[in-house]
Chains A and B, each alone.
Chain A
Amino acid sequence: MVTITPANDRREYVPGDEIRGEVAWQLHERPETLNVHLAFVTAGRGSTDGAIVATHTIADPGISGDEAFSFRAPVGPYSFSGTLISLTWAIEAEAQGADATAREEIIIAPAGEPLQLHPVDDA
């Protein structure tokens, strides 16, 4: 099992903020590496798009342990929710070779809340 705990249980960030937290793992087999990613993904009307913008790699993590990580919230894209598209940021952890993952959604947006896009009549 892998768990991600954001520092101070904080999940709302503005671009430029430091995203700190801790990843803890307790596994049945020894993974090769344990990667913690900062990534975004889309969902909605269109097929999925996504990207990993930063990675914190823990080499030879062992069967169990914990480690702190830190990222800088990028300038964009903002978390948002429209009519056709939602864009969500997350901290994801994967233990390679041990088939264990974890995911913790966060928000990166100027006001610390996802932008809401409302439909406008095209006429």
Chain B
Amino acid sequence: MSVGHAHALFVHGHSRVHRLPAHVKLVALVVFVVAVVATPREMVGAFALDAGLVSGAAAAAHLRPRSVARRMLIGAPVLAGALLMPVVGAGARVDVGGLWLSLDGLWGAWSVIAKGTISLAASIVVTAATPVPELLAGLTILRVPAVVTAIAGFMVRYLEVIAGELRRTRVAMASRGYQPTFAWQVGPIAASVGALFIRSHERGERVYDAMVSRGYQGRLPQLSASGASTRDWVCALAMPVCAAAAATLAVIR
């Protein structure tokens, strides 16, 4: 199925990664992340292998490193938080460039940064190579409750609509000279958010009426059930199996 330049996260392409069924990619992602998280933090070589695997997947999906790096900024707050761990951590301390830092904290920070970064990068590869509707269909195939996929679908569908309403409200406020400078001028923004909430609630009722008018009786029909071949599974699971093997070897040793 070609979805074109459908959603903000999706990067159009025809690579092998793009062509894999969404539910196969989701399973591979979850297994890979579990393997990465289960890897002992001292096994730096295993993390290097994991990072290499993600880089390979990104390259196979024809994703530009710059684009992946930009998307990874979403994890910056967590990584910034991790950097505090060596400062506030307890236990033995070591001299690092003139700073006395906690050894446990350093390892903790490394663990969070390495595991978080690799897992986030893997998620970015999957979301960039899979259209959102297919991801939702994949979740349905994996027996995620219909109400969860329905809520996710509505969120994707109406995020832009609500953002557009918020944008128009802000333009209308600015057009009447509203330029908040101080905290006590925030009232109109709060009022506009409240009005937006009411409008969204009313829209929800109208959407529900439109759904019921087309026969909706509390359960969204299953509209997609693309199968996966053995080759698809082997191809997708190769990466998490390597990561899991590395983690297992590290634990055994």
Q: Please determine whether chains A and B interact with each other in the same assembly.
A: no
Residues of chain B touching chain A, judged by Cβ–Cβ distance below 8 Å, are none
Residues of chain A touching chain B, judged by Cβ–Cβ distance below 8 Å, are none
